Amino acid sequence: MQRIHIIAIGSTVMANLAIAISKKNSYLVTGSDTEISESALLPLKENKLMPDQNGWFTDKIHKGLFAVITGTGITEDNPEYKRAKEIGLRIFSYPEFLYLQTRSKTRIVVSGSSGRSAIIAMILYVLQKQKIDTDYAIECQQPGIGNCVRLTYDARVAVLDGDENFASPFDLRPKFHIYKPHIAVITGIKWNHNDIFPTAEIYAEQYNKFIELMEIQGRLIYFNGDEYLCEIATKLRRDIVTFDYNTPEHEIKEGIIYLNTKKGSIPLKISGEHNLQNMNAARLACKQVGVTDDQFYNSIVDFDML
């Protein structure tokens, strides 16, 4: 049994990770925090992961631990973090541990300045209906998905939210640089993180680096309505295969979108041009793991963002 300790388990994200790890039968999880968020309180209690008391306790950090995972809210003077460094434990940030857990799987990483949650929800919905076992880590709760993180031994595919925020207070790499996708989706590059990336050029460069870090013979799916993405798609490593997408052919009748396909018109429950674009990105991502267009359309017809 490998013991994992999570420093700052009280946030929703870290609580979700703790629950996912605890469900793997070779791990025993503990955690600490000075405060437990309301959204994390009940899940931690239900999964028997609630710390006995709030605070930091250096006696929880010992050489019997397999690893320590740090949350985003801690600082370098955190006593548990300092103790872990002193005794030479393996210390992972949230994205580093996700990569460790999914490095033998086909990783689909959805990135971009908009639409990530919708695309991830569509991919997971279709893969579930096609009975393709999938691990995942998402930033926002999605309908039909309980815990926001799922980690298993058997799933061969993992879908990860390509968040651009820093990996940890001690690692200023964007999270999505750590994931090294086999299949990458970029929805667009709109500078909206001036608190982290001071200029649009620095922000855009993070996506260049993200693409450079893709696995050999990676598949890049990008929105061709973004001029910058279209430009960088012409300057990629020779082994990367590209697929561009935009709004699929459709018509609207009595407020319902009908998708035009080779096999006829299909009514959808989603609405809006943006969601149609998201659906097209999800289709291309699913195609890379063996889902045909027919299978995708048969599955997505019931998908409802609500």
DSSP secondary-structure letter at 256?
E
Position 305 in a domain: no
Query: Based on the domain organization, do 73 and 112 belong to the same domain?
Result: no
Residues 6+ apart with CB under 8 A from 251: 257, 258, 260, 265
Considering the domain boundaries, does residue 306 fall inside one?
no
- 152-187: pLDDT as tens digits: 999 999 999 999 989 998 898 999 999 999 999 999
> pLDDT by residue (tens digit) across 79-92?
999 999 999 999 99
- Report the mean per-residue pLDDT for the chain: 94
Per-residue pLDDT at 38: 94
- Output the pLDDT for position 157: 98
Alpha helices (H) along the chain = 12-22, 38-46, 79-86, 94-102, 116-129, 175-178, 200-212, 227-232, 273-287, 293-300
User: Domain for residue 10, yes or no?
Assistant: yes
pLDDT digits (tens, 9 = 90+) for 188-235: 988 776 677 888 888 889 999 999 999 999 999 999 999 989 998 988
Residues 59, 125: one domain?
A: no
Per the structure, how many domains does the chain have? 2
| Same domain, yes or no: 165 and 65 | no
Print the domain residue range for 45. Answer: 2-89
Query: By three-state DSSP, how is residue 204 classified?
Result: helix
Q: Which residue, 89, 120, 145, sits at the end of a domain?
A: 89
- 136 and 284 belong to one structural domain: yes
Q: Report the alpha-carbon angle 274-276-277, nearest 5.
A: 65
Question: Is pLDDT at 116 greater than 70 in this prediction?
Answer: yes
Q: What is the pTM of this model?
A: 0.95
* Closest-CA residue to 256 (of 265, 264, 268): 268
Considering the domain boundaries, does residue 273 fall inside one?
yes
267: its two tokens: 């009514």
End-to-end Cα, the chain, rounded Å? 41
